[in-house]
Amino acid sequence: MNKIPVILLIIIIHAGCNNQGSRSQRIPVAKVGDVTLYYDQIPRLLQPGISSADSTAIVQNYINSWAKKELLFLKAEENLSSDLKNDIDKQLQDTRANLVIYQYQRQMMVEKMDTTITEEELKSYYSNNEKNFSLSSNIVKALFIKLPLEVPNINNIRAWSRSNDQKDLQQLETYCYQFAEKFDDFHEDWVTMDRLSVELPQDIVNQEEFLKRNAWYETSDSASLYLITIRDHRLRYTPAPFEYVRNDIKSIILNSRRFEFLQSLENGIYNEAIKANIFKIY
């Protein structure tokens, strides 16, 4: 029996063994130049029920792939110019430094940065920057209902959907859960008119004119009836309502705090280094 099958047999035996002590001893599997592949470096490739022949093939393929990569790396190391090697070393150093700095900054932000933003802060920012929050889409607070054409009590549905009385709206909700194909109530949330109009069988060509002229809208196709009640709307290019951009404002404030915190962290470390004589300029 040659060497490779013996090694593979050892690996397969160890893969099925749960004795932790047996894994503490490193078993060499292959070697390229000065680099050795050990058994404990091989991922868990073998699953229960795999035949011995398949297990051998899987492990052999992994070893071959590892060897090809290491041989290619060895050849590249031998043939690359010193300038290119120096450039690679510098890139690796820069990458490591950036990763270490990034993780340290994240840790400091989690531990020390104030992330609490009050409603008053959000509204104050909006009030001072309202002109910067121009709508790019028409938005609405609306009720959308899609019903089968032969639905009963359609006049009641029309009346309930146009009412502001809470009892009527509760009756409408109960009815729609029983009969409606789709029922979306956006009374509390602003949504784009695009999101609403995509549910309709025909395109709304001029949304601005549609919203100016319609508080209620009804249309149908061969199978369904569509009802829309528009409670409120804002047209594109006008200032966005506070509720619509509230989360955006929160992100803006947090990003500003992150920037200020990191600037302060960097400057603090810099000044401490000067005082402690760690950093000098000659």
User: pLDDT band at 52, cuts 50/70/90?
Assistant: confident
One domain, residues 225 and 158: yes
What's the pLDDT at 188?
A: 85
Residue 87 lies in a domain: no
CA-closest candidate to residue 201, choices 184, 222, 180: 222
In the block, residue with structure tokens 């060509």: 205
Residue 84 lies in a domain: no
Residue 86 lies in a domain: no
One domain, residues 20 and 36: yes
The one-letter amino acid code at 116 reads: T
Distance (Å, whole) CA 216 – CA 3:
83
One domain, residues 175 and 40: no
CA-closest candidate to residue 11, choices 42, 35, 51, 32: 42
One domain, residues 149 and 224: yes
Chosen domain end from 234, 254, 270: 234
What's the pLDDT at 42?
A: 81
One domain, residues 116 and 169: no
Residue 202 lies in a domain: yes
**What pLDDT, in 10s, does the model give residues 158-195?**
999 999 899 999 999 999 999 999 999 988 899 999 99
One domain, residues 118 and 30: no
* Parent domain of 213: 137-234
One domain, residues 213 and 262: no
One domain, residues 223 and 145: yes
Q: How far is CA 41 from CA 10, 36, 63, 66, in A?
A: 14, 10, 11, 11
One domain, residues 143 and 226: yes
CB atoms within 10 A of CB 119: 9
One domain, residues 130 and 162: no
Distance (Å, whole) CA 22 – CA 26:
9
Residue 85 lies in a domain: no
For residues 10-14, average pLDDT: 55
Distance (Å, whole) CA 267 – CA 269:
6
What's the pLDDT at 24?
A: 55
Distance (Å, whole) CA 60 – CA 45:
11
Report the predicted TM-score, pTM, of the whole model to 2 decimal places: 0.72
What's the pLDDT at 44?
A: 75
Token reading at 12 = 């397969």
Residue 281 lies in a domain: yes
- CA–CA–CA angle 193, 197, 201 (5° rounding): 175
One domain, residues 47 and 109: no
In the block, residue with structure tokens 């008119």: 193
For residues 12-27, average pLDDT: 56
Instruction: Read off the CATH number of the domain in which 148 is found.
Output: 3.10.50
Distance (Å, whole) CA 138 – CA 133:
13
One domain, residues 53 and 37: yes
Distance (Å, whole) CA 273 – CA 205:
65
Question: Residues 265-275, buried b or exposed e (16+ Cβ, 10 A)?
Answer: beeeeeeeeee
Residue 88 lies in a domain: no
Fill in the DSSP letter of residue 130: G
Q: How far is CA 54 from CA 15, 201, 225, 274, in A?
A: 14, 57, 61, 63
Chosen domain end from 194, 214, 234: 234
Domain count, the chain: 3
Residue 22 lies in a domain: yes
